[in-house]
Structure 1
Amino acid sequence: MAVYQIVEIGDPVLREKAKPVKEVTPHILKLLDNMADTMYAAKGVGLAAPQIGVSKRVIVVDVGEGLVELINPEIVEASGQAVDTEGCLSVPGMIGEVARADKLIVKGLNRQGKEVVYQAKGFMARALQHEIDHLEGIIFVDKASNLRKAE
């Protein structure tokens, strides 16, 4: 178990397009484990590898329905729209309203290197989009309106 320091806004790694994972190696498995430990320790619902300074296309999400680990995630389909308040572990103390698709189909690889497909809606769809944005160098403040300090 390892808990990493979360990289904050201003660090250039957060603005890079993360590199695809070519194969699931023991290093990637350890990265997934450490990302989950870091996310839970920070009381977050999602974490992307760039948020711990690793420019790889790896995310973990847990909105209370169990841990989802995705390597090279891609949004296959998005529909509907909802606006809700978001925050980010890399932008501590700030929240804002972000419009996102309400329903998603996301595909990626699991820790066994097998392709998996998730259908998500609501909060889970929002969390997946937020983390996948990190892999593109996009931070929620880029899309947020009514940006303000969290109370």
Structure 2
Amino acid sequence: MGREFREGDLVVYPSHGAGVVTGTEEKTVLGEVRKYYRVYISDAGLTLSVPADGSNLRPCADEASIEEALDMLGREVTEMPSNWSHRLKHNQEKIKSGELLEVAEVVRNLSVYSREHDLSTGERSTLMRARQILVSEIAAVRGLELPEAERLVNRALKGGGAAG
């Protein structure tokens, strides 16, 4: 059973990034009444209905975790499969986990890899999605506009550290 969220809580839905819980609602699906969270994802201008039970909705990271994720962007690349389709699946699984550090690792590894190799269309799309999720969470936690959070990510990727 997942954690309980209240209106105003900052959350991350792995496939869309950071958002805010705007309320709850009950819906009847196949004769069963279930509770859903309404989550507004501001950078997509989208409101999602996320099942309260069984979803991988999680609270936004704390400042220490954001620092750790930004720091990770400047570290050495970790081993990835050499075959592009295996690499794609490997990185998509990390994003699906919803964990901030896993997403940051994908951003770092694919960003560094792309400097020396062409990324497949799927890998480019995975990198863009991972960046969007990472940037949206940094922006939400630090109360920044998306372009500011994007600059922090770019600086960290260049080895400029996590300082904002």
More strand by share: 1
TM-score by length of 1: 0.29
Rg comparison, structure with higher value: 2
More helix by share: 2
